[in-house]
Amino acid sequence: MEWSEQPQTLRTLAEIFVPLAVGLVQGVLLTKLVMPHLRERAGGLMGVVHSRANTVFSLLQLAVLLGVVATCNAASAPQTLEWLQARDLFPVPPSLLALRIVAALAAYLIGANLVHLTTVLSRDAASNTLQPLPLKGRRPR
């Protein structure tokens, strides 16, 4: 690697890792500060948040977001732009800036989702199930 390529490489890495770090920090703050209050208010609905279906969906969403970051970051955005323009998928053709913004947003969402997944997967397996909600005075069918 030549000296002239190093600033571009550092900028490309910063465009990925800065939003990822911001998403991780936001996810940790949400987990520590907001989630205890939501658990109090949600009651039986917290089983939906920690269900296996939600965990699988989060893993699929993480895979899609990783693909978006890989195809839309600064290093591969020109090739992705050429591919999108050749297919004419959008009514308005996207720009390189739009692709880089999408990559930054996807990196941020990856960081936030990673914190959620680690908290869900670190709990015991018994809490990672979808339990039926209480009936509150209604008789079962």
* Dihedral sign, Cα of residue 28, residue 13, residue 109, residue 123: negative
Please enumerate, as own/partner, the contacts of 29-35 that have beta carbons within 8 Å and a separation of 24 or more. 30/112, 30/115, 31/115, 31/116, 31/119
Task: Assess contact for 103 and 76: CB atoms under 8 A.
Answer: no
Q: Is the per-residue pLDDT at 138 higher than 80?
A: no
- Which pLDDT value is given to residue 128? 47
Query: How confident is the model over 87-126, as pLDDT tens digits?
Result: 888 888 899 999 999 999 999 999 999 998 888 777 645 4
Query: How confident is the model over 5-63, as pLDDT tens digits?
Result: 678 788 888 889 999 999 999 999 998 898 888 878 877 777 677 778 888 899 999 99
Ranges of H-type helices in the chain: 6-29, 35-42, 46-49, 52-72, 77-87, 96-122
Write down the domain spans for the chain. Answer: 66-125
Stronger pLDDT, 136 or 8, i.e. the higher one: 8
Rounded CA separation 69/78 (Å)? 13
Stronger pLDDT, 128 or 88, i.e. the higher one: 88
- Which pLDDT value is given to residue 7? 80
Coil, helix or strand for 130? coil
The residue behind tokens 């990673």 is 114
